[in-house]
Amino acid sequence: MTSPIWHPFTQHALMPEMTMVERGEGAYLYKPDGSRILDAISSWWVVTHGHCHQRLVEAAREQAGKLDQVIFAGHTHEPAEKLAEALVRLTPDGLDKVFFSDSGSTAVEVALKMALGYWHNIGEGQRQRIIVMEHSYHGDTIGTMSVGERGVFNQAYQPLLFDVDVIPSPLPGKEQDTVGALERILTDYQDEVAALIVEPLVLGAGGMLMYSADVLKDLKRHCEAHDVVFIADEVMTGWGRTETMFACDQAGISPDILCTSKGLTGGFIPLSATLCSDKFFDAHYSEDRAKMFFHSSSYTANPIACAVAYANTQIWADEPVAERIDQLVMTQAQHVETLDGHPRFENVRQCGTITAMDIKVNDQGYLSNIAPRLYQHFQEHGLLLRPLGNTVYVLPPYCVTPQDLNEIYHVISNAPDVLGL
């Protein structure tokens, strides 16, 4: 019998069999027959410390027996309160209010609504333009697709997507084009721009494209000068991925709004938070009920998810997470150096714990048929790697060992020749 399940981002006609996973531990996933798969992409960029970290398991277990779920309008609970305080402490200065939702996409939707709601409530409702970066990805809901790269992924939904202003992404050598384009839009549409939304330092789903902290700083400076809301989508980059706690830390900037999810619970359970400076809250603070922030989801600030996320902040406080990350960054750098001279790879790059490299092929792009062939090849070698087109990237949990990494790069560097690409 075939399964009734319709899987995400999966062309079932080309992938009739799903890999059954029974259990996870550290950097490994285990199949029912006991064989293991090295999770080199942290199960879609979410797992930070490794699968089934004991303290996260314990936190979930303990909270589940105490308070499973409660309406968050008009009610609160200790896990959410403790987590919110920790988040304000751990994020860049000035982010003093925390709004909870359930996924990266909803965190971004909330950010966009906060920005628009702010301008509306302070009497500048004409500020509605959103500036976005080419090749960016912010989620798969209608709103987040609107602010993301347009392409084959969202062609069918194009009629539903709202218009945005696009600036080029700051590819190496093109940084000034990005900053220049932003400056032009900000000048041309002085009082019409509401916000700029960016993925700081790494454009993830767009191909693991990386840019410098200086550019990020410049973008923030221009937004500040024009009083435009700067939204940092740190859904992927947060929680040590780029080496610092948040990518914005490397530029020494405080965004006006910050979205976090994925690593927020260590990749254990869905939860997200949108943090903002006081002015957004204040603009909605009124005796006029029409000015409240009209947003919620059923499981907003679920107590179990909050308890796990709070336990995650404690892991960061008590365990040598920063040291593990430093080690990983160094080992990754060595592999990048080795691959740099490889005749079959180009644009070998690294940002913190993430590395990416493009295989030299004629057939490029996301739908290039080399991605599924590579994926299959890696699976056969017990590796979970999911290339984006001809871009292979390694984004492992922080508990991955140097031996694991040796294995990963051994298979990657041989792949083009073994597969005859």
Ligand X SMILES: *Cc1c(COP(=O)(O)O)cnc(C)c1O
Rule CB under 6 A: which residues touch ligand X?
103-105, 108, 137-139, 199, 204-205, 233, 235-236, 261
CB of 124 to ligand X, least distance (A): 27
Q: Which of 384, 387, 328 is closest to 361 using CA atoms?
A: 387
CB nearer ligand X, residue 359 or residue 388: 388
CB nearer ligand X, residue 139 or residue 266: 139
CB of 255 to ligand X, least distance (A): 13
Residue nearest to ligand X (CB): 104
Question: Which tokens go with 327?
Answer: 């080690």
The number of beta carbons lying within 10 Å of the beta carbon of residue 121 is 20
CB nearer ligand X, residue 261 or residue 332: 261
Strand-pair category, 257-260 with 272-276: antiparallel
Amino acid code (one letter) for 245: M
Give the integer Cα–Cα distance in Å for 350 and 405: 14
CB of 68 to ligand X, least distance (A): 22
CB of 225 to ligand X, least distance (A): 25
Question: Which tokens go with 288?
Answer: 């006029």
CB of 46 to ligand X, least distance (A): 8
CB nearer ligand X, residue 167 or residue 235: 235
Q: What is the SS3 assignment for 199-261?
A: CCCEECCCCCEECCHHHHHHHHHHHHHCCCEEEEECCCCCCCCCCCCCHHHHHCCCCCEEEEC
CB nearer ligand X, residue 178 or residue 260: 260
CB nearer ligand X, residue 102 or residue 404: 102
CB nearer ligand X, residue 384 or residue 411: 384
CB of 281 to ligand X, least distance (A): 23
Give the integer Cα–Cα distance in Å for 37 and 273: 31
CB nearer ligand X, residue 41 or residue 235: 235
CB of 105 to ligand X, least distance (A): 3
Q: Which of 180, 184, 178 is closest to 199 using CA atoms?
A: 178
CB nearer ligand X, residue 233 or residue 243: 233
Q: Which of 86, 47, 70, 57 is closest to 262 using CA atoms?
A: 47
CB of 337 to ligand X, least distance (A): 27
Element (DSSP H or E) covering residue 132: strand 129-133
Element (DSSP H or E) covering residue 276: strand 272-276
Amino acid code (one letter) for 341: G
CA angle 287/288/294 to nearest 5° reads 115
Residue 212 burial class via C-beta count within 10 angstroms: exposed 0-12, middle 13-18, buried 19 and up: middle
CB of 7 to ligand X, least distance (A): 14
Backbone phi, then psi, for 206, in 5-degree steps? -70, 0
Report yes or no: 216 and 253 within 8 Å, Cβ to Cβ: yes
CB nearer ligand X, residue 137 or residue 268: 137
Strand-pair category, 193-198 with 165-167: unpaired
Q: Which of 235, 219, 204 is closest to 391 using CA atoms?
A: 204
CB of 276 to ligand X, least distance (A): 17
Tokens 């879609």 identify what position?
44
CB of 401 to ligand X, least distance (A): 25
Strand-pair category, 28-30 with 23-25: antiparallel
Give the integer Cα–Cα distance in Å for 384 and 374: 11
CB nearer ligand X, residue 212 or residue 327: 212
